[in-house]
Amino acid sequence: MKTPIFCRIFDYRKTLLPNEYLASLEEGVSDIEQAKVRTGLSVGYPGWTLLYYSVLCGLDRTGGNIIVETGTNIGCSTIMLAQALKDSGYDGHVHTVELLEENYRAAVENIEKAGLSRYVSLNCGNSTDFLKEFTKNVTSIRFAFLDGAHEQDHVVEEFELIYPLLTDKSMVFFDNTYQIAEEGEDQRVHGALKIIKSRFGGNLINFENTSWFTPGQAIWQK
């Protein structure tokens, strides 16, 4: 594994975050270890705002916006998804799933304190099991943030499960996208994106200087 690279920024104006509660969690945080305590294993700034504006600018004005997230953690990125939906004024809902019950409970509390519970349905369980059931009951997904387990095959499986429900205007957002694995190791999200491009084509936009170990975020669209 290559040396960790951290692209999360701490010295920034907290008013740049569109949710006051999330901004309050960032006050006084100056390094990764403090961030883990306050906001968990989340992407941080500027990744949160990249996620927020990607959703806000990509929603369907006519409504019916289904937003899916795998890997809720303690709900900070979920807050960004829900805040974007709220601020858009468009009809829609966020559906998120978290594997660990402790994180799930913390996410429920954080999303409630952020004032966004009405926009979010939280689920506790394995992300692929959740997606297998969830995709039976919806006709399309407008935005997906795939951030569950980061092993290469798991990311590809999540994508394959939602792919039939993606339209030409749907977006799929990924975190921790840049290559950190040595030859012979699991290539993780970086390797998954190569497979997705090979199998499904589409357009992939990469952002290198965001998030933390592993850095990088990307947006895929047909």
Cβ count within 10 A of residue 9: 13
- Model-level pTM? 0.96
Tell me, yes or no, whether 1 lies in a domain. no
**In CATH, what number is assigned to the domain containing residue 116?**
3.40.50.150
DSSP tally for the chain: helices H, then strands E: 8, 7
Tell me, yes or no, whether 9 lies in a domain. no
Residues facing residue 95 across a β-bridge: 68, 121
Q: C-alpha angle 66/71/75, rounded to 5°?
A: 80
- Evaluate whether 81 touches 92 at the Cβ level (below 8 Å): no
Q: How far apart are CA 77 and CA 73, in angstroms?
A: 8
Q: What is the pLDDT of residues 133-184, one digit of tens each?
A: 999 999 999 999 999 999 999 999 999 999 999 999 999 999 999 987 777 7
Tell me, yes or no, whether 4 lies in a domain. no
Q: Report, as an integer, the average pLDDT of 193-210.
A: 96
Question: According to the model, what pLDDT value does residue 185 have?
Answer: 86
Domain that holds residue 18: 14-221
H or E element in which residue 102 lies: helix 101-113
Question: According to the model, what pLDDT value does residue 1 have?
Answer: 60
Tell me, yes or no, whether 203 lies in a domain. yes
Judged against a pLDDT cut of 80, whether residue 3 lies above it is answered with no
Q: How many domains does the chain have?
A: 1
Q: Give the contacts of 209 (CB within 8 A, at least 6 positions apart).
A: 7, 215
Q: What is the pLDDT of residues 97-143, one digit of tens each?
A: 999 999 999 999 999 999 999 999 999 999 999 999 999 999 999 99
What's the token pair of residue 40? 């968990």
- Going by the DSSP 8-state scheme, the letter that residue 182 receives in this structure is P
Question: According to the model, what pLDDT value does residue 4 have?
Answer: 67
Task: Using pLDDT thresholds of 50, 70 and 90, give the confidence band for residue 213.
Answer: confident
Tell me, yes or no, whether 5 lies in a domain. no
Helix/strand/coil for 206 = strand
Task: Using pLDDT thresholds of 50, 70 and 90, give the confidence band for residue 5.
Answer: confident
Tell me, yes or no, whether 6 lies in a domain. no
